[in-house]
Homo-oligomer: A and B are copies of this chain.
Amino acid sequence: MPVSRKEISPCPIDAMLSVIDGRWKGTILWRLSEGPMRTSELRRSIPGITERMLIRHLHELVRDGILVRHQEASMPPCVRYSISRYGLTLVPVLEVICGWGRNHLRRIGHLQR
């Protein structure tokens, strides 16, 4: 598994992780799972994120086929992002990850007391 997750690795685990790896990708997917959103809406709904990072991550997710970018060619531009049909196949995986993570957080909590 020779990976710095940006080069394409033949390892399926890395292939999957490279898609959701990124400081804010989880949150972005989480927000978009409730429906399509505009760039600026997303930015306002995710406290702490910078426009730079939002757009970088959005474009990466579009490149990976997880999101779709709809642009209405108007000026002031209006761009909306939504989860693609392919992206929807990721949701159950995220739920499994989330389930284990929730349990892990509980475990860490217990151990700390």
Contact = CB atoms under 8 A, between A and B. Distances in A.
A16 to B, nearest CB: 3
Instruction: Count this chain's copies in the assembly.
Output: 2
Contacts of A26: 1, 11, 13-14, 17
A75 interface: no
User: Dominant SS at the A interface?
Assistant: helix
Contact of A97 (B24, B27, B65, B93): B93
B98 A96 contact: no
A21 interface: yes
Interface string A73-89: 00000000000001001
A58 to B, nearest CB: 15
Contacts of A86: 107
A44 interface: no
A55 interface: no
A4 B101 CA distance: 16
